[in-house]
Chains A and B, each alone.
Chain A
Amino acid sequence: MSNIPSELKYATSHEWVRNEGNGVVTVGITEHAQNLLGDMVFVELPEVGDAVSTGDDVAVAESVKAASDIYAPVTGEVVEINEELEDTPELVNSDAFGDGWLFKLKIEDEGELESLLDAEGYANSIDED
């Protein structure tokens, strides 16, 4: 069973969301997702300043095996991207919940975080896969 930190929120499409305070959240993909995808070779990120809406495909994680769309888990503006991934996409494999983060959003409505899954809800959702 994959590690699913209890302090994070999750989307069924395998993104995780960490509330950093001041309306900023960090987004990445879960350990479970990186494990399904295998070795990451490219990560295409949105640009700082992009306005994204919940469910938009905003990034692409491309592994040796497949290209996978990454969706915005909440609505907001991209305020930072993980530039380390340009040269070291494998950080998504080695530290999915840490150094392998993808981008940060300034969210429009913090209440939207409540509609995301908690760790238990996400664990249940991947059991059903």
Chain B
Amino acid sequence: MTNKTVLHAKHIEAGAKMVDFYGWDMPINYGSQIEEHHAVRTDAGMFDVSHMTIVDINGADAKAFLQRLVTNDVNKLDVAGKALYTGMCNEQGGIIDDLIVYFFSDTAYRLVVNSATREKDLAWINAQAANYTVTITERPEFAMIAIQGPQAKAKVATLLTAEQNAAIEGMKPFFAVQADDLFIATTGYTGEDGYEIALPAEQAAELWQQLLDVGVKPCGLGARDTLRLEAGMNLYGLDMDESVSPLAANMAWTISWEPEDRNFIGRQTLAAQRAAGDQPKLVGLVLEEKGVLRAGLKVISADGEGIITSGTFSPTLGHSIALARVPRSVAVGSTIEVEMRKKLVKVQVVKPGFVRNGKKIF
């Protein structure tokens, strides 16, 4: 069965090329994914992310439950609306999913998880909740639109009421606020400024049209992938999955080791891995000559072999970039090799992250 978001007709109307994305019929591009990419880096673009799964966690034990469920500590969230990026691991320390937790109060949180992992995430979350006083509510009645780019906030502002604009005035990155029917968050997956807005599904087509009318360019999954890769952000299923530790996926920073008595799922395994220091690591690779690094290609270094987990052509930089999992001893700044189309090419090792706010960062 193929799912369609409430904006499906708007995509067709805009001439989108549609593809199957884990059971959802989604736009891959509306003509040129490179033009869409540049729109986000230089102006403003929008993505239909209504396929993503919103789950509300409410109840007396909501905080304690999330302190057990995810690797980052929701106790860091002390201001209403603050958000946190985290992994959710199994007992073996493998990543079940990565997600964002939004904090309303100690008894009310919102999670946004990947659509591709929706069923297993919901099953896992519900199973873990058995001994906690919480209710877990999926919110499929919401659509979600991400508006990203240096002009994104200014363009959105022209469509909001005075009260809504007051509600988001001066909002820092990684915050959210409920403003009338709009849940407006300063989160995203592009490395640019902007919002992710969740709203009642029946209002989504109208907002999409208003955004089009103020010059926000519709962007598909193709541009979403090149943008997130330039920003050095992981994609679940490629850069990590249940066989991968957060320590091997550039997600060590999303594990809160303090306080020591917080017994989050996977803690024992991850602590042992951390002590052993034997996990591989995720790095960025840069290829300045012709060619495009692709997922699955073999990486060869004096410290041992690795593998490219995501690779693409970077439209902003004009050459190829990749994320790769390599032995921990491979040094940032060194030059190693990738086996590409029957030959070896030299690549530079950088920290995982290539472009932020339109600028090269390595």
Q: Could you tell me which A residues sit within 8 Å of B by CB distance?
A: 38-39, 41-42, 44, 60, 62, 64-67, 90, 93
Q: Within 8 Å CB of A41, what residues of B?
A: 34, 292, 313
A67/B341 in contact, CB under 8 A: yes
CB distance from A41 to the nearest CB of B (A): 4
Q: Which of A67, A90, A93 contacts B292 (CB 8 A)?
A: A67
Q: Which of B222, B315, B341 contacts A38 (CB 8 A)?
A: B222
A39/B32 in contact, CB under 8 A: yes
B312/A64 in contact, CB under 8 A: yes
Q: Which of A62, A64, A66, A90 contacts B291 (CB 8 A)?
A: A62
Q: Could you tell me which B residues sit within 8 Å of A by CB distance?
A: 28-29, 32-34, 222, 226, 290-292, 294, 312-313, 315, 341
Q: Within 8 Å CB of A65, what residues of B?
A: 222
B290/A64 in contact, CB under 8 A: no
Q: Within 8 Å CB of A44, what residues of B?
A: 290
Q: Within 8 Å CB of B315, what residues of A?
A: 64
User: A60 CA to B290 CA in the complex, in Å?
Assistant: 11
Given that A64-B33, A64-B312 are known contacts, is A42 also in contact with B222, CB under 8 Å in the complex?
A: no
B32/A62 in contact, CB under 8 A: no
B292/A62 in contact, CB under 8 A: yes
Q: Within 8 Å CB of A60, what residues of B?
A: 341
Subset of 16 A-B contacts with CB under 8 Å = A38-B33, A39-B32, A42-B290, A42-B291, A42-B292, A42-B313, A60-B341, A62-B291, A62-B292, A64-B33, A64-B34, A65-B222, A66-B294, A67-B291, A67-B292, A67-B341
Given that A64-B226, A64-B313, A67-B341 are known contacts, is A39 also in contact with B33, CB under 8 Å in the complex?
A: yes
Report the nearest B residue to A93, measured CB to CB: B32
CB distance from B81 to the nearest CB of A (A): 36
Report the nearest B residue to A39, measured CB to CB: B34
Report the nearest A residue to B313, measured CB to CB: A41
A38/B291 in contact, CB under 8 A: no
Q: Within 8 Å CB of B222, what residues of A?
A: 38, 64-65
User: A100 CA to B130 CA in the complex, in Å?
Assistant: 61
Report the nearest B residue to A43, measured CB to CB: B290
Q: Within 8 Å CB of B312, what residues of A?
A: 64
User: A42 CA to B28 CA in the complex, in Å?
Assistant: 20
